[in-house]
Amino acid sequence: MGTLPPRLNSAVDPARPGSPDVSDYSPSDPLRFNSAPSLKMSDHCAVIAKKANQRANLILRAFRTHNPHIYSRAFKVYVSPIVEYASEIWNPYLQKDVELIENVQRVFSRRVFRRCCVRKCRYEDRLSVLNMHLLETRRLCSDLYMTFKIPLCTPMRGRPAAAERPPSGRILVGHASG
């Protein structure tokens, strides 16, 4: 029998020719937190916006339809995970970063409306037609969900600990137990 092809036989070995160089590793995974040596969130927001714009452009090149809801669904499936992944950690606080991330959806919705021959309207109206929400609002909801989930969940099982459960076994949220 022969040997495996080089791409299947390569290990991370700096001495081996053709082996990947770990020192120059640049994360290309779309669902990965990117941090620069300066630890500024602006760098991460720029990387996320670039990846999301690339994916949105691919959607617009791949689909040829006059139904804006198909584009909306594709955006939610292929672009939203990029701009919403781990947003509880990297949530932008500078206005320029918020606008940079929001601009991905703003430009996409404008291009969809232009392509589908829908009349010009404001960004908020486009979102309501496409059944979408502001990305900033979605990040806020994600933050609130995470904040609510932390005190109610144990780290291992994701369920309330026995000491935190009422005697009936039901979780009472926002109600006084009587």
pLDDT per residue as tens digits for the range 4-53: 445 444 444 455 555 444 444 444 544 455 555 666 788 888 999 999 99
Residue 122 within a domain: yes
Tell me, yes or no, whether 19 lies in a domain. no
Rounded to an integer, what distance in angstroms lies between the CA atom of residue 16 and that of residue 26?
A: 20
The amino acid that residue 87 corresponds to is S
Domain annotation covers residue 62? yes
What pLDDT score was predicted for residue 149?
80
Residue 21 lies in a domain: no
CB–CB of 133/92 below 8 Å? no
Q: Does residue 172 fall inside a structural domain?
A: no
User: Does 28 reside within a domain?
Assistant: no
Report if pTM > 0.75.
Answer: no
Rounded CA separation 29/168 (Å): 45
Q: Is residue 168, in this structure, part of any structural domain at all?
A: no
pLDDT at position 96 is 92
Which pLDDT score, from 0 to 100, does residue 106 have? 94
Question: Which stretches in the chain have pLDDT values below 70?
Answer: 1-39, 152-178
Range of the domain at 126: 35-154
Tally of domains in the chain? 1
Which of the 8 DSSP states describes residue 163? G
Token pair 């760098």 is found at: 43
Decide if 23 is inside a domain.
Answer: no
